[in-house]
Amino acid sequence: MKTKFRTILKISLFSIAAIALLIFIIAINGYLKDEKLLFYATGTQYKVFLNSTWEMSEKEIERANDTHLTVRKEYVIDFRDVVPLPHFGNTSYGLKPSDFPNQSLSLDMPQFNWFKSNPRYPTVLNMSRYKGRLQNNITVFGYESQISYSFFDDKLFEYTLIIKESEADKLHKLIFDNISRKYGRGHVQEKKTYETQSLFWENTNLKVDYRLTEQSSSQFTAVVRFSYKPMFNKIRQEKLKEEKNLF
C-alpha cells in the first residue's frame, strides 16, 4: 500500500513539475516574443539611425537607442500647425487649410490614414499592419529634432528626420553636405510651390528624399526620408499574394 502511495505521489509531483516547467517555458517564450529577443529579433545588419538597423521592431529600436517611442498620430490633421507632416508625397505633405475649403478649423478635423492615402505604400488587406512611431527630444547636427519611424508587421522600413531652423541656407548646407558625404551627388526633383529645395539620392537598397520647406519668412523645416527598398518589395509581394488568394 505504501509503495503504491509513493508511486502515485511521485507521478503527481512529476506531473506538477512538468506543468510548472511548461508554464515557465510558455511565459519565457511569450516574453521573448513580445520583447523581440533572441530568435525573435528581426533587425538586419544594415544600419539605419544611431544603433538601430532596418527591419528592427519597435522594442529593438527602443533598446538599441535607449529611448522611448511614442505613438504617431496617423489619422488627425490639425490645421493650426501647417508644418510638413512626417510623411510627404502627393497626398500627405504640406497640406494647408486652403486644401480643404469646406472644413472648419476646429478639433473635428477630417480623418486620414497616411498609409492608405499615400500611393507609395502598398495597400494590403489589413492596413493596421502598418504603424508609425515618433522619437522626440533628440538633438541631430546640433538641432532639436524629431524622428518618425514607419513599421510593417513591426519591422522598420522607413524613417524620417525633421529639423526646424530660421536660416534656410545654413540648414540646407548642413543637410546636403552630410547626406552627399555618404551617398554621393544627389538628383534634383520637382519642387512644390512651398519648397525651397527638393533632392533625392538612391542606390540598390535605399532611397533618400530631402525637402526643405518654407513655413514663414523666419521658419524653415528640413524633412529627410530614408526608405528601405527591400522591405517595400516584401510588402508588394505580400500585397500580390493576398490578391492572388482572394478568390
Q: Which pLDDT belongs to residue 94?
A: 44
Measure the CA–CA gap between 233 and 43, rounded to whole angstroms: 17
Question: 232: left (phi > 0), else alpha (psi -120 to 50), else beta?
Answer: alpha
Residues 6+ apart with CB under 8 A from 69: 58, 61, 62, 133, 134, 135, 149
Task: Write phi, then psi, for 208 (nearest 5 degrees).
Answer: -115, 125
Going along 63-205, which residue ranges are E strands?
Answer: 70-71, 130-140, 143-152, 155-165, 187-188, 195-202
Q: Which pLDDT belongs to residue 91?
A: 36
Measure the CA–CA gap between 196 and 173, rounded to whole angstroms: 13
Measure the CA–CA gap between 2 and 7, rounded to whole angstroms: 9
Q: Which pLDDT belongs to residue 152?
A: 96
Query: All 3 cell numbers of residue 232?
Result: 517595400
For residue 136, give Cα distances in angstroms to 149, 213, 224: 11, 20, 16
Q: Give the position of cell 529634432.
A: 145
Q: Which pLDDT belongs to residue 99?
A: 45
As a whole number of Å, the end-to-end CA separation of the chain is 65
Tell me the sheet residues that pair with 165. Answer: 220
Would you say the C-alpha torsion 225, 228, 232, 233 has a positive or negative sign?
positive
Question: Which residues in the chain show pLDDT less than 50?
Answer: 76-111
By 3-state DSSP, what share of the chain in percent is helix, strand and coil, each rounded to 5? 35, 30, 35
Q: Which pLDDT belongs to residue 40?
A: 64
Query: All 3 cell numbers of residue 88?
Result: 510627404
Measure the CA–CA gap between 69 and 86, rounded to whole angstroms: 14
Measure the CA–CA gap between 97 and 109, rounded to whole angstroms: 11
| 5 half-sphere exposure, CB direction, 13 A CA radius | 2
User: What is the value of pTM for the model shown?
Assistant: 0.76
Q: Which pLDDT belongs to residue 131?
A: 93
